Structure formats: structure tokens, C-alpha cells
Structure 1
Amino acid sequence: MATRTAETDRTVPGPAGLPFLGSMFDMRRDTLGTFLAAQREHGDVVRIWAGPPGLRAEVYAVFSAEGVQKVLATDSANFRKDNVFYEELRESFGNGLLTAQDEDYLRQRRLVQPLFTRRRVDGYAAAVVAETERMTAGWGEEVELVGEMTRFTLRAVARILFGTDVDAAVQVVEESFPVIGDYVLRRGYAPVSLPRTWPTPDNRRAAAATARLYAVCDRIIEQRRAAGAGPAEGPEADLLGLLAAAESAEDGSFDAAELRDQVLIFLLAGHETTATSLAFALHLLARHPEEQARAREEVRRVLGDRAPGAADLEALPYLTQVLKEAMRLYPAAPVIGRRAVAAAEIDGQLIPAGADVLLVPWVTHRHPRYWGEDPERFDPARFEPAAEKARARYAWFPFGGGPRACIGQHFSMLESVLALALLLRDFDFESLTEEVPVSTAITLQAEGAARVRVGRV
């Protein structure tokens, strides 16, 4: 942590917490609620500390859209992915696009960018529709949305990555990801972490899960390379084949380890985040019948009885508004971390060099300055074009922003809108759950079931 001096100590306000322990118990009990209360009581830049002397952690949380823009965009070079959570993610999931920095990141981005053009991503629409239909074929009268959407998005991203090798990959990911994710989280929060090489039960369990995950990815990559490059276009053009073929005179190509790193990051970032958006969009629609009816009317008017395709996205503006509002209230990445290289002033507060800086979409997405006096209310009209244009650029940032903005955001929107359209075309959703408690881990985590009654329409 940075050492505070007379020059840097324009004391940043924040909760006092308990003597000697600060906000340690508040952060453990309700991290997101603690951040929300800190903004309401202390303003848009707050200092939060937790833990006893000698093991104390200190973070600076930035809540305003203008502050977020400075960290992610205008001064992004000063705010790096150097904190402990990114270090743990690199150790477990490799040095892919989410975690890489500097020249490694730029090289990877240049190689991967051509695979995420709008035209290329639109070609995955048929796979999304097929997996949606596969999911609903097994539905009964009641559905638990979080589990269903997580399985659906995992199968969809695995199908797009691996083509026909879906089932083996899905089973290993389902078994391994929760173990590794919990391990990363525990190590990220621990004041002191034991070396990963020590044979503790926690280390051994995580190492075994990681080995299984790496093995299935390595096997599929080896088989794909032995078979030669697949087609560059059409439904058989899976992403792994395109990644393996990606090459340029400047950047070369990915070796087997680099390919695995990209695959693991795409699996991690490409299924839990979209699953969260879909589950909570359906949960909110199930609790708001009028908005559900309006969205269904739009879908039926555009689609009739046919399946949706990429070309339908622009014709479904209200459904897109519903999705964006769900992503506002339940951002899949509720906390984003950086570390300041040099001291920086944000919203009149001086953040010292070396400080851990947190952006909290959960709070910014509820900020009364951007969202009015009732920011908890579900209101898709907030995303009508005129309202979006009038609002600060970074009042809503579920995909991050600046030069490190999520490369897969068009795919996430395509997958979510197409799946929602197909589900609303065929089903009515009635909520059986009033509220779904959530917590923050690597992504937003539902702490309870989101049950709905479903009926054919």
C-alpha cells in the first residue's frame, strides 16, 4: 500500500468503521451495501480501510461517472491491472485478454480483434438460437433462472469456441470453475496468502481443478491443430479454429499455451456475465407484467413465429432497453479494480501513487445524479435514445470502457437479445421470488434462487 505523506494527505473521506478493524466486518457481510452507503454518506471518492494494524488493506472507491471516465479512459495509462485479484486471476486462468498488460495485451488484442467484428459475431446467431431451443425443450412448469441461464450461456460459448466438442468441455468447466473461482476470491481477500506450491487442502483442490481444466482445453487445441484449420466462414467456423489461424507479420501467432489462455478467459468472461444479465432480465420481467407484455408484443410483431437472427437486433429496441436496465440494476462485474501508478486527483480528491482504486458499477448505476430519485426502480425507458444521449457517458458501464473495454460486448448483447426474444415469443414468466440477494465475487453472484412459473403463450 502507498505511504501517506503531508503532500498526499488531503484526507479522503470515508467510513470510520470499528477501532483497529475499520470496515472489515461490513465489507465481509455486505460489500456492495457498504460501498453504496459510503457514497451516500461521504461522496464520490471515498477511502475505505479494513483489518488490524500490520494486515490493513486500504482502497479508494470512485463512484462518479466523471471519475470512472478518468480511470478507464482519459487517464487509463495511470491505472493498471496490478492489484492482487488480477494477479490471482492470471495464476489460475492464464494471461489472456482480460488479465494481460502492456505489449502482451496489445499483441493479443491485435490478433483477436478481427475475430470480433460485428459481421463475424453475427454469424454466431444460429448457435445461440439452437442452444436456447435446446434449453427450453427440457423445461417444466417451474424454472430456476440463475442455474438455467448459467448452463445455457456456458453451452453457447463452448459451442462457439469448440464447435462439436461441447459436452466434454462443459462438464469440466461446470466442475472446475466454481472451485477455482472460490480459490481466487479467498486468496484475493486474504491479508496473507500461502504459496500455491504448499500442499494445503485448498491448494491441492484448486490445483486438481486447474489441471482438469487445462487438460481438456489442451486436448481440444491439439486435436484441432492436428486436423488443420477449419472453415473461416459459416456455422462450422468455431472461434478456436479462428484463434489458431490468427496470424500477422507484426505479431506472429498464438502458441498452444497462449491459445489455452485465450480460451480460458473467453470461457470465464463469456458465460457467467451474460448469464447474470439474462437471469435478472427475466426475473425483472417476471415481476413486472406490463413491461413483459410490451416486450413480448414487440417480439411477436417483429418475428411472428420465426426464430430471431442478428438482423433483428435493431428492430427490437424495447427489448434492448429491458436488457440494458437489467444490466444497470445487476451489473455482472459489480466492482472493477485498478492500481494507481502516480498520484491522481479525481473529483477534487487526491489519490496517492500505488493506491488500489475500485470502480463500483453497482453504485454508479444507482447514483441519483444520473438515475433520479428512485434509482432502484426498474424502468426500461431510462434507455430510450434521448435519455441515453443526455446522460454522462460513464453513468452506465457494464462492459468497462476506454482502451480495455470488453472485446465481447457485441456478442454478449447479441446472445442476450436473441435468447430473450425467443423466450418471450414462446413463454410467459410469473415470478415466484420477490427478491434475489446478491454478493460480489469475480462476478455478481446470486445468493438465492430466482424461481419463475413458465407457461406457453
Structure 2
Amino acid sequence: MTTTTTAAQAPIVTGSPLLGSMSDLLNDPLAAYLRARRDHGDVVRFRAGPPGLRSDLYAVFSAEGAQQVLATRAADFRKDNVFYEELRQSVGNGLLTSQDETYLRQRRLIQPLFTRQRVNGYASQVGTEAAALAAAWRAASEGPEAGGAVELVGEMHRFALLVIGRILFGTDVKKAFEVIERTMPPLQEYSLKRGFSPLRTPRTWPTPANRRAARLQSELFALCDAIIDSRRDRDDRDDLVTLLVHAESAEDGSLDADELREQVLIFLLAGHETTATALAFALHLLARHPEEQRRVQDEVDRVLGGPGGRAPTAADMVELPYLTMVVKEAMRLYPSAPVVGRRVVADAEIAGIRIPAGADVLVSPWVTQRHPDYWPDAERFDPTRFTPEAEAGRPRYAWFPFGGGPRACIGQHLSMLESVLGLAVLLREFTFEDAGVGEVPLGAGVTLMAKGPAWARITTR
């Protein structure tokens, strides 16, 4: 929608005289976005930075506005903002960060690797890693130093990274896991801090932060290059790296060495964190709602045969509707990407508010998925919000943890498969109880971050 002469200016979220909204956006952005919607409405403007260096950031919180930004006017809302540029320089120009013909070419080459049929073939890897984790928990809970508790965020991040590592790398999982766990989080933090800084020194300057980031990036790149090189002369494996190495078409050719590395890095970054967040907080929520947990366990027992039962398959997904609803509700309350940024390249109007060309714009699953217009009693955990009837009664973008439009996450079916089947195995073998730690403190970087532990007591079923 183009702007009209009657379009209003977005209300400004007031901040401190010195830094505007910068302190709020850096210290507790999730609370700042919720407060802005509550106090000012569905389209607001943050002004951040010291006088003379302030910049405007528009935030759009309605489902209809999110649909405009991500789908119906996606061509006018591009990934040109400073945060994507910083991420692009840290992990490369893969599907998450690329644009225009580069993105379209990459998407066409990679899409065949993520068909439903091919993704369903990864169910056995999910089951194998879930069974290994269950065995480790069982041994720990019965050993001499048994504490009977697990820290869900750390455990699920390791599990999801091992699954995506097995799918991506095959037998190279353990080496990849150690390097990724050590290098990826500080690189993300470095990129985020640079994105918020009003004055960014060139990355080539030999500051301690720049030198450390370059060292971590080199180590991560070297790992990916070595794995890719090991696949070049063979096509008898079905891990994603091998398939990427040999992906080509008459129209688009194949991926060169830099593109291959960049896709692998993006899959590692986006491929495990979405799933890890859903897994950790689904278990956290079920531990605090035992009646919902019992309902899920009854469903899982009917499908997989109870504790010690058979391995799950992709065909079991349709037989686990309530567990699927639990996963969707966990993704509603704890979206792994709580904020999605864009830059508008043509004047726009959303809900009667003018957004000028060149402005930075964000949409927020964190806020929209708590919006009272779509989610009554929004903080309450209620999986029945995702019955087919309930979903049909809401706007399409009231729930969008995987983004939407032409840039929707290519791996969303893989994430759901891993989440549902992984949880099915763990809930079949264990009962989870609230360890009394209360709400998990959260922050928002490139992804949703737990700033404290999420402990749960586990009991073997």
C-alpha cells in the first residue's frame, strides 16, 4: 500500500534524554517491545542513540502489518539493515542473509534438498540421537552422583546441534559440535553489538574484539571447508553437505566453495537454534503443567508403545496431534527469532501510519504472538489454541515463528519433525517435574536467549 496525504506519523516511544530508547532496546528489548505496543499501538517508532547520532526504528506488531512486511509487500521490505549486514560479514551470504538473484538462485538449488519426502528420511537420525540422550539421562539418574535434574536449555541445544550435525555432516558430528559450540555464540554476540553501535569501527582495525572475531570466524570456516572437501569426490552419502556439494541445475549451475561454506554455516546457525528453543521450552512448560504432560504421554504411549517402545518414524507425525499442538504453543510463547528486521525501500503505510523509504522496520513474533486481539490470556500455556478450528479462526500472521512470505524458513518441516519426534522419545521415557526455578530470564540477540538455567527434575517412567 502506498502512502496517502492522510497517513499519520508513528507515535514515538519516549526514552531517556541522553540515549533515547537505546538503553531499553539493549537491556531488555522484549519488555520494551511489549510495552510499546501496549502504550502506543501496533505501529510505533523508537528513537535510539545520543543526540546527533539518533536513528529511528519502526516496529509493526499486528498480524496484518507483519503480513505486509513479510509477504504482500516483501519486495519493498529488504534485508538491507545494519544487523543483517553484520551477520552477513560474520557467517556469510547464505539463505538467511542473501538477497535478489543471489537468494533466488540459492533457493532454487537448495529447495530440492528440503522436500517433505527427503526431510522425512531424517526421522531415523532424530530417533537415534534422542535414544542416545535418553540412555545418557537414564544412566546419570541411576548413577552414584545422580541428581535427578537436567538443565533443559543446554541439553536441548546440544541435542539439536548433534541432530543437525548428523544430518549435515554424517560421521563428523563430534568435532563439528565442539568447534560450533565454542565459536558460534561469541560471533553472534559480536555481530549484534556492532549492529547496535552508533559508531562502528572497520572490522579490519586490529581491536581486541575484531581480532577475536576474525580468529573465531577463521576456525569455523576451516572446519566447514574441510568437511566440504571430504565430500567432493563421493556422492554415495545422503548427508546434506554431500547433497549440497553435488547440487546443480542447467539454469543455476552449482554452488562454489564460498557459497557452500555459507550455506553450511547458515544451516548450523538457524537449523539448530529454532529447534533447540522449541524443545527446551516445551519441556519446561510441560514440567510446570503435569496434566498437559500426562495427556501428551498417553498419546505418545499409544503411538510408540510406551517406555522402551519402538523408534519413531516420520509417519508418526500425524498420529501425534496433541504433541504437535504443544510444540506450536511453545513456539508461540518462546519464538526462537523474537524479532525480524527489514529496511523499507519505498514509502509504505501500515494501519494508517506512514513509514518512509529508507527506514529500518521490525516485526516481532514475540509481541504479535502475545497480541490480545488474537490470543486471549496470552501468557497462559494452552495447546488447544492450535486445534485446526482455532488456527482457522486467526489471521495467518498471528503466529509466524518461521517467518513468512518468500523468505519463510526453508527448514520449518525439519524443525517440526525433529521437535515432535525428539520430544516423543524423551516424554515416553521420562516424566519431567518443575524444579522450582520459576520463569527463565530471557534476552534477545540474533535469537531468543535464555539468560539463566531451566532446571527440571526427571524420573524414569
What is the percent sequence identity of the aligned residues? 65
> What is the TM-score normalised by the length of structure 2?
0.95
CA distance in 1 between counterparts of 2:20 and 2:89 reads 30
Matches within 5 A, 1:251-330: 251-304=252-305, 305-330=309-334
Quick check: 2:7–2:353 contact (8 Å CA) kept in 1? no
Confirm whether residue 435 of structure 1 aligns to residue 436 of structure 2.
Answer: no
Q: Residue by residue, what CA displacement relative to the aligned partner does 1:417-457 show, whole Å, maximum 9, x if unpaired?
A: 00010011110000112110101001000011000110111
Give the C-alpha shift of residue 19 in structure 1: 2.3
Correspondence for 2:196? 189
Q: Residue by residue, what CA displacement relative to the aligned partner does 1:368-394 show, whole Å, maximum 9, x if unpaired?
A: 00001x100000010011000011100
CA distance in 2 between counterparts of 1:165 and 1:25 reads 42
Correspondence for 1:173? 180
Quick check: 1:14–1:38 contact (8 Å CA) kept in 2? no
Quick check: 1:340–1:353 contact (8 Å CA) kept in 2? yes
From 347, 366, 377, give the equivalent of 2:370: 366
Confirm whether residue 229 of structure 1 aligns to residue 232 of structure 2.
Answer: no
Tell me the secondary structure at the aligned position of residue 16 of structure 2.
Answer: coil
CA distance in 2 between counterparts of 1:189 and 1:9 reads 29
Confirm whether residue 446 of structure 1 aligns to residue 450 of structure 2.
Answer: yes
Give the C-alpha shift of residue 7 in structure 1: 6.7
Give the C-alpha shift of residue 28 in structure 1: 2.2
Matches within 5 A, 1:356-435: 356-372=360-376, 374-432=377-435, 433-435=437-439
Tell me the secondary structure at the aligned position of residue 446 of structure 2.
Answer: coil
Confirm whether residue 343 of structure 1 aligns to residue 381 of structure 2.
Answer: no
5+ residue gaps in structure 2? Answer: 142-147
Q: Residue by residue, what CA displacement relative to the aligned partner does 1:285-307 show, whole Å, maximum 9, x if unpaired?
A: 00000000000000001111212
From 150, 153, 160, give the equivalent of 1:153: 160
CA distance in 2 between counterparts of 1:186 and 1:439 reads 14
Correspondence for 1:234? none
Quick check: 1:8–1:351 contact (8 Å CA) kept in 2? no
Correspondence for 1:3? none
Give the C-alpha shift of residue 364 in structure 1: 0.2
Give the C-alpha shift of residue 281 in structure 1: 0.4
Tell me the secondary structure at the aligned position of residue 32 of structure 1.
Answer: helix
Quick check: 2:66–2:397 contact (8 Å CA) kept in 1? yes
Give the C-alpha shift of residue 113 in structure 1: 0.4
CA distance in 2 between counterparts of 1:39 and 1:213 reads 39
Q: Residue by residue, what CA displacement relative to the aligned partner does 1:202-223 show, whole Å, maximum 9, x if unpaired?
A: 0111111101000011011111
Higher mean alpha-carbon deviation, 9-18 vs 241-250, is at 9-18
Give the C-alpha shift of residue 25 in structure 1: 2.1
CA distance in 1 between counterparts of 2:201 and 2:194 reads 9
Tell me the secondary structure at the aligned position of residue 339 of structure 1.
Answer: strand
5+ residue gaps in structure 1? Answer: 1-5, 232-236
Q: Which amino acid in structure 1 is aligned with residue 235 of structure 2? A: A
Give the C-alpha shift of residue 21 in structure 1: 2.5
Q: Residue by residue, what CA displacement relative to the aligned partner does 1:259-310 show, whole Å, maximum 9, x if unpaired?
A: 1010000000011121011000000000000000000000001111212110
Q: Which amino acid in structure 1 is aligned with residue 230 of structure 2? A: Q
Tell me the secondary structure at the aligned position of residue 163 of structure 1.
Answer: helix
CA distance in 1 between counterparts of 2:179 and 2:6 reads 49
Give the C-alpha shift of residue 128 in structure 1: 0.7
Q: Which amino acid in structure 2 is aligned with residue 55 of structure 1? A: L
Q: Residue by residue, what CA displacement relative to the aligned partner does 1:187-241 show, whole Å, maximum 9, x if unpaired?
A: 111111111111111011111110100001101111111x32224xxxxx10011
Please report the RMSD computed on the Cα atoms of aligned residues, expressed in angstroms: 1.4
Correspondence for 2:88? 90
Higher mean alpha-carbon deviation, 105-114 vs 17-26, is at 17-26
Q: Which amino acid in structure 1 is aligned with residue 398 of structure 2? A: A
Aligned residues: 446
CA distance in 2 between counterparts of 1:244 and 1:22 reads 48
CA distance in 2 between counterparts of 1:24 and 1:408 reads 33
Correspondence for 2:59? 61
